[in-house]
Every structure is written in C-alpha cells, then in structure tokens.
Structure 1
Amino acid sequence: MRMLLADQGQSWNEEVVNKETWLQGPLKASCLYGQLPKFQDGDLTLYQSNAILRHLGRTLGLYGKDQREAALVDVVNDGVEDLRSKYITLIYTNYEAGKKEYVKALPGHLKPFETLLSQNQGGQAFIMGDQISFADYNLLDLLLIHQVLAPGCLDSLPLLSAYVARLSARPKLKAFLASPEHVNRPINGNGKQASNPVC
C-alpha cells in the first residue's frame, strides 16, 4: 500500500501502533476482524490488505483498462497472495527448519510470474497490460522481501529480475524505497529478516 501511494504521488498519514498499545485491547476490539491494517479514506473505513489494495486500484485507475484486464489483475494478485501465505507460514512457524526447503522450491513458485511477464510485451511492461496495476505493487513487495530472504532468488528468472529493477527505479518509488520510513521498518514482526532491502 505504501509503495502504491508513494509512486502515485498520494500523501497519507500513518499511525504506527506499537505492541504495547495493541495489547491493551481497545484498538484491537474496535477493528472489524481484530487485526490491522485499518484504512480510512474519508468516511470509508476498510480492513484487509487486499480489500484496501483493490479500493486504491479502483480509485486511482490501477485496476486494468477494462473488465478483462481487471479479471487478469485479480488472477495475478491472488497468485501473489498464495505465495505470501507460504512465506508467512515459513517466517512465523517454521523458519529455522523450513528455510532451506522453502528457498529450494522458490524458483518453481516464482516461475508463473515469469511466465505472465513473458506473455505481456516480452516482459518489458507490467505484470498485466501496459499500465501499472495494484497487483504490480503487491508483487514487487513480495519479490523485494524474497530477495532479502534468499539473495539471488531471481537469478534464474531474468524477466522478473529486470521487472524488479525497472519498477524500483521509478522516481517516486525509488525515493520511497530509499527513505528511512521504508528502510528502517522491519519486514516481519518477529524479527526474522529485520532489515528492509535498499533499492
């Protein structure tokens, strides 16, 4: 969400909730599903990361040019979330014992995204269509995280590697990725991979 907002030139106010405040209970009790993020857009309150991303996609014109592209963007985003679920399971339940096998299987999990890129202007555009979508930001986030987990994980995937470099070089996004607000934010809440990549 932050990368999308920054790259699209949007301003936002962020309230960072520390563990102590969260454990006090009232904020958690006020959240629809008892979890963050919580997103305010005027009088609209949203929960769930992907609902927020889709809202931003619709609001900012980042959801494909038509219904067909929108459907394909959804396919990409759901694929990103499938891999993110595997990653979260590793990080929070099986990091020490499972990392080696996870990294070994990672190229196979990333291959569908390489395939999608190859089918869209030879991998020289975005993940779907010729305009950036909310799914591009979600995929980029996941790929940057995986480059911290397993440097070189994109070495056998040249289109994805170039895609990460190309998106990360977008001026507003590049500035955000280099900002202290991004660099100093832990990737995971349990301290695994405690520093963000600087691109």
Structure 2
Amino acid sequence: MAESKPTLGYWKIRGLAQPIRFLLTYLDVDVNEKRYGTFEEWQADKLNLGLAFPNVPYLIDGDLKLTESRAILRHFARDTALNPNTADATRTCDMLENVLWDIWFGLLRYCNSGVDPMKSYFENEIPKKIGYLNTFMENKKFILGDQISYVDFILYEILYHYTTYSAEYLDKYSVLSQYKKSFEAIPAIAKYISSEDYIKGPCINPMAKIPF
C-alpha cells in the first residue's frame, strides 16, 4: 500500500505558508493541502488534530505533527541542499531569518492594525532595515551567495508581499528588485507560478485594516 502524503494545513491565502509551498515545489515534495476558507472551518479541526500547539500552518505526516511556519520550513529543508552546511552559513541564515521576520512583521502588523505605533515603525524603521538588506544582497545570487537556502524562500515571499502592498515599493532597492525577478525565473518556481495550484493572493487576512 502506498504511503499517504503529508498534509499541510493553512488558510486560503499566501500568508506564512507560502514560503513552505514554494520550498515544497522546489524540492518536488508532494503534499495534500487543506486550505481553510473560514474561521469556523479551522475551529472545527483545531482541537481534533492532535497538535501540541494548535495553530496554522500545521504539518501532519504520520506520527509527526508540527506547527509554526519556520519549524515546518526547516523540517523540509533539513538533509537537503537547502540547509546550510557550514557553521558560517548557519550563522548567516540564523541572522537573516530574524532580520527578515522583523521586516515581514513590520508590514503585517501595520496592515492588520492600520494604527500607530505600528504605522510609525513601518514608515520610519522598516525602510532602514530594507536598505541594510539591499546592501547585504549586493553581488549575491542568494543569501549565501551562489547557494540557495531555505531562508531565500522567506525573503522572496516578503518581497512579494511588499510589492503587492505597493507595486513601486522596491523601486529604491534595485538589488532586491532584481533578486525577486531572478527567483521567479528559477524553473521549478516559474512552473509553480503558472500552475492552477498557485495562489496569487490575497497575501494577508482579507479582514485586515489594509488588505492586500
């Protein structure tokens, strides 16, 4: 009997699960997706899945039950070429992962609330961080140079979020703008983007104060 496929559960949006979807596509890992369209659908499942910390996204693969988006991303990257293979590369990925999370949540918190102090932080502090990131990525194909890592999938999705929020957002950051285009041209990624399974949007909860 064929083994059942893992199940990835999340909302019918890009959100925090999209880097996982891209990484699975890149690694050619086949999963079943359960995409929740309403809060009520999730509530009906939430406490019946055996998750230690019920949340979405979640991964169920036999006895393995895992939540938290970055834990799931690392799970699939582990033992593949997407996992950093030196101490220096690991430290770089650890640092960038945290920097990127700050940049991503600066946008998400502002758009979900639409109010200060999130607005002030988004408008005054986030551009500085993105500027540092733009400089860091100069002369690099990927975060680790020529080697793609699991953190690149987070970076791409953040850039997609920002340009969906404002199409001109990356105009001042030419390195990141080119990175986004190059990532989309990776054959496996380009194929996925053109597939019926691909979610173009929304990126965040449609009920957010500033949805996109």
- Normalising to structure 1: TM-score of the pair? 0.82
Alignment of 1:92-111 (within 5 A): 92-94=112-114, 102=122, 106-111=126-131
Q: 1:43 to 1:33 in 2, by over 3 A?
A: closer
Contact 1:76 1:135 in 2 (8 A): yes
Give, in whole Å, the separation in 2 of the partners of 1:75 and 1:81. Answer: 10
Going from structure 1 to structure 2, the CA distance change for 1:42 and 1:131 (only over 3 Å counts) comes to farther
In the alignment, which of 35, 40, 65 is matched to residue 16 of structure 1? Answer: 35
SS of the equivalent of 1:14 reads: strand
Partner of 1:27: 46
1:37-88 CA distance string (max 9 Å, x none):
1113443221111111112221322122312201211111111111122122
SS at match of 2:79: helix
The answer on 1:59 being equivalent to 2:79 is yes
Superimposed CA distance per residue, residues 114-142 of structure 1 (whole angstroms, 9 cap, x where no aligned partner): 12212xxx13x101232110100001001
How far has the Cα of 1:27 moved from its partner? 2.0
Contact between 1:155 and 1:161, CA under 8 Å: does it hold in 2? yes
Amino acid at match of 1:9: D
- The residue number in structure 1 matching 2:197 is 181
Question: Are 2:180 and 1:161 aligned?
Answer: no
Unaligned runs of 5+ in 2: 1-19
Contact 2:57 2:67 in 1 (8 A): yes
User: Higher helix proportion, which one?
Assistant: 1
Percent of pairs with identical residues: 24
TM-score, length of structure 2 as denominator length: 0.78
Instruction: Give aligned pairs, total.
Output: 190
Decide which of 124, 135, 148 is 1:132's aligned counterpart: 148
Q: Select which of 60, 65, 71 maps to 1:45.
A: 65
Q: CA RMSD in A?
A: 2.5
Q: Which residue of 2 aligns with 1:6?
A: 25
Residue 114 of structure 1 corresponds to which residue in structure 2? 134
The amino acid of 1:54's aligned partner reads R
Distance 1:43 1:88, change over 3 A: same
* AA partner of residue 34 (structure 2): E
Structure having the higher strand fraction is 2
Secondary structure (helix, strand or coil) at the match of 2:134 reads helix
CA distance in 2 between partners of 1:79 and 1:28 (Å)? 33
Structure number with higher relative contact order (C-alpha < 8 Å, ≥ 6 residues apart): 2
Q: Which amino acid aligns with 1:16?
A: R
Distance in 2 separating the partners of 1:10 and 1:103? 38
Aligned partners of 1:42, 1:102: CA distance in 2, in Å? 41
